Amino acid sequence: MKILVTGGTGFLGSYLLRYLVHKGYNNIHAIRRPSSRMDLVEEIKDKIHWIECDILDVIGLGKAMEGVQQIYHVAAMVSFESKHRKKMHQVNVEGTANIVNLALENGVEKLVHVSSTAAIGRRKKIKKITEKTKWERSDYNSEYGISKYLAEQEVWRGVAEGLKAVVINPGIILGAGFWEEGSASFFMKMWKGNKFYGKGGNAFVDVRDVSQLMIEMMEREVHGERFLAIGENWSYQKIFDTIADSLNKSRPTIALNPILGGLAWRVEWLRSRLTGSSAIVTKETVQNSFRTWIYENKKSIDTFNHQYISLEQTIKETGQIFQNASKNSFKPSYLTINQSVTN
């Protein structure tokens, strides 16, 4: 069985590769760019067939797809800065269209596509979001969410044309990784003494849960469906408090309000323009920090009999790894995968 993974050197992709290796798969191919960091796959890099390619390179991607029977499409761009919107749509939408088109052309048996809860759609006064919640245009949808929604449409088009595919929609994925990127940066912010928290809330999930569910979706006879991958729904205050506790740091005490939030993203916008660096806080992230979204995980539990790792455990383990990393120049790190699942 020849397997192709996109985004294999990234946060989620690296965990997926480790689970595939531990489950005994031995014909795994993964796409990487020449500039991709290999820190998170160091222990298994020699067990993967690496292909230097970009998902926007149709010719290179076509060669990588030859003889492939299963695809895990993990690669995506996440940004909440307006200057990255065009590139993000290219990577997320056009890149997914390339994957779908070539999968159809090469007779790929099945595709697992990593989407996001943001792709399901958010609107005012919605109480709970499930797999059946319909997308609606709304000011509550981020540009990232729009790009992932459009990417999903490419997958559903492929399904209509005969491709077997499953879509997974994770919440905010937690775990050890690159400490300056993604949700792992929450630990760095708390370590540095962050005093602020948003009044909203969201769905969160352990990166190991998402990886295991992706393999379950590939191995089981399910297709043409989407599954929310949600560990628990927590407030941002609870997330930040628990992370602070795991690091033996003071909890944040200042709740963001519209005035403070507006000032924060404008200062960050100016700083990023002057320095050329990425903004830590943006208008979209501030707006989302005031909003609460509740997601249901019943379908994934019922279909796969999956038991999610508690967020307390995820944060406790990640906090311990972060503290060890702090003694080693914050070297990128990863959680130990659950060996009992892979035997």
Return per-residue pLDDT of the chain as tens, 343 residues.
899 999 999 999 999 999 999 999 999 999 999 899 999 999 999 999 999 999 999 999 999 999 999 999 999 999 888 788 899 999 999 999 999 999 999 999 999 999 999 999 788 878 899 999 999 888 888 899 999 999 999 999 999 999 999 999 999 999 999 999 999 999 999 999 999 999 999 999 999 999 999 999 999 999 999 999 999 999 999 999 999 999 999 999 999 888 888 888 788 778 877 887 777 778 878 888 888 999 999 999 999 999 999 999 999 999 999 999 999 999 999 999 864 433 2
- For residue 340, the model assigns a pLDDT of 40
Alpha-carbon span 8 to 50, nearest angstrom: 9
Local structure of residue 295 (DSSP, 8 states): B
State which amino acid sits at residue 330.
F
> Which candidate, 6, 35, 40, 30, places its Cα nearest to that of 207?
40
Task: Return the residue matching tokens 């708390």.
Answer: 190
- For residue 341, the model assigns a pLDDT of 38
Which tokens belong to 285? 């992230």
Task: Return the residue matching tokens 């659950």.
Answer: 338
Helix segments in 220-257, DSSP class H: 236-246
Which tokens belong to 116? 């996001």
State which amino acid sits at residue 323.
Q
- For residue 343, the model assigns a pLDDT of 28
Alpha-carbon span 279 to 268, nearest angstrom: 5
- For residue 191, the model assigns a pLDDT of 96
> Counting every residue, how long is the chain?
343
- Give this prediction's pTM: 0.94
- For residue 190, the model assigns a pLDDT of 95
- For residue 279, the model assigns a pLDDT of 73
Alpha-carbon span 35 to 46, nearest angstrom: 18
Task: Return the residue matching tokens 């729904």.
Answer: 233
| H or E element at residue 87 | helix 85-89
- For residue 261, the model assigns a pLDDT of 84
| Residue 144, CA atoms < 13 Å, CB-side half-sphere | 16
CB-based contact 322:230 (threshold 8 Å): no
* pLDDT tens, position by position, 132-154: 999 988 888 889 999 999 999 99
Alpha-carbon span 201 to 307, nearest angstrom: 22
User: In order of start, what are the domains of the chain with their CATH numbers?
Assistant: 3-176+202-231+295-310 (3.40.50.720)
